[in-house]
Structure 1
Amino acid sequence: MYKISEFAELTGLSKETLRYYAEVGLLEPAYINPDNHYRYYDDGSFFLALLLGKLREFGFTIQEMISVMEDESFEHLEDLLLEKKKKIQEEIDSLNLRMGEIDEFLKSGKEDAE
């Protein structure tokens, strides 16, 4: 069993994030000491914590992360990741379009000044 500070160091998630994930039902501690309310995590929580860290890096919302964790078989994880990838590509395309529009605007401004 790992204290929350040890588990935070192992997983790269902050203690505050671990507390929040427990509060919203994403990652419950394996044990909470009733005397001092210290939270303890076990090896089984380790994989889930790493998965949550990756999902956060990939830009998943808390609700999307909850959806992944509720599907304990992770059967739909690939579909969710592909959908996230598609959304990211759409954002990239939109930003590239905006950059092109800015370039055109700047170009037209220089032509008008000449």
Structure 2
Amino acid sequence: MYKISAFSKMTGLSKETLRYYAEVKLLEPVYIDPSNNYRYYDDGSYFIAVLLTKLRRFGCTIQEMSAVMNDESFAHLEGLLEQKRDKIQSQIRDLLLQVEEIDEFLASGRE
């Protein structure tokens, strides 16, 4: 088992984020020592932390991450990631159109 400080270094999640994830029941420590309240995580916790890190990187909200974590079959995960991908692709198209508009505007000013 890993203390919160070691687990934080392993996962790249800050201690504050780990405490928050425990508070909202996304990633709870596997053991809290009653004598000193130290939080401990295990290898299974590491897998969950990696998943949560990826979901945050993909722009998922805490509510979306909770829905994924509560669906033990992870059936919700595929649909959510497809939605995120589609949204990102739409944003890319919009940005490319903006770049074209800027280029056209600059070109018209030079004429």
Normalised by the size of structure 2, how large is the TM-score? Answer: 0.91
- CA drift at 1:34: 2.2
The residue that corresponds to 2:37 in the other structure is 37
Distance 1:60 1:104 in 2: 35
The residue that corresponds to 2:62 in the other structure is 62
Letter in 1 for 2:2: Y
- SS in structure 1 of the partner of residue 55 of structure 2: helix
- CA drift at 1:16: 1.6
The number of residues matched between the two structures is 111
Normalised by the size of structure 1, how large is the TM-score? Answer: 0.89
Partner deviation per Cα, 1:70-90 (whole Å, 9 max, x = no partner): 111101211111111001000
- CA drift at 1:97: 0.8
Alpha-carbon RMSD: 1.2
The residue that corresponds to 2:6 in the other structure is 6
Any gaps of 5 or more consecutive residues in structure 2?
Answer: none
Letter in 2 for 1:75: A
Percent of matched pairs sharing the same residue:
69
Letter in 2 for 1:30: V
Mapping 1:82-93, distance limit 5 Å: 82-93=82-93
Partner deviation per Cα, 1:31-58 (whole Å, 9 max, x = no partner): 1222222111122211111111111121
The residue that corresponds to 1:77 in the other structure is 77
- SS in structure 2 of the partner of residue 76 of structure 1: helix
- SS in structure 1 of the partner of residue 75 of structure 2: coil
Distance 2:21 2:98 in 1: 36
After superposing on structure 2, the runs of 4+ consecutive aligned residues of structure 1 that deviate more than 6 Å are none
| Higher-Rg member (1/2) | 1
- 8 Å contact kept, 2:67–2:76: no
Distance 1:41 1:92 in 2: 38
- 8 Å contact kept, 2:3–2:38: yes
- 8 Å contact kept, 2:11–2:49: yes
